[in-house]
Amino acid sequence: MPNGLMLAFAAANARLRAWHGAGVPVVGLWGTTDDGVPRFFVTCLTCHAIRDQICEWRDPVTPENLPGLTTEIVRVLVLAGCFHLAPLLGADSSEVVELTKLELLAGE
């Protein structure tokens, strides 16, 4: 897997941890299957909505389109009724931006 994509996964995962730290009941992880196919798992800790998306059905996952894919997958849960994760669809608050920086420094 390209190094740039691994760095993008680390940044996306740090952002998810930051949202959790800011009070959104989310747990999520970008990673890969055993075959190296990008995979995104996200769940709501309040209503237990789950999405486990293997991203081999679309254009290749790149660092540039990863944020949009994350939003698209979370939007599916929100539209299905999990309003707890709706904050992830908007802009990051200053708190989330700062927490993301700390999460990146801490590593995964």
Question: What tens digit of pLDDT does each residue of 11-50 get?
Answer: 999 999 999 999 999 999 999 888 888 899 999 999 999 9
Least confident of 20-24, 53-57, 71-75: 53-57
- Provide, rounded to the nearest whole percent, the portion of the chain with pLDDT above 70: 94
Amino acid identity at 9: F
> What share of the chain in percent tops pLDDT 90?
71
Q: How far apart are CA 29 and CA 31, in angstroms?
A: 6
Which tokens is 45 given?
């800790």
pLDDT class of 2 with cuts at 50, 70, 90: low
91 burial level (CB within 10 Å; 0-12, 13-18, 19+) = exposed
> Is the pTM above the cut of 0.75?
yes
- For residue 37, give the 3-state DSSP assignment: coil
R_g of the chain computed on alpha carbons? 13
pLDDT at 60 over 90: no
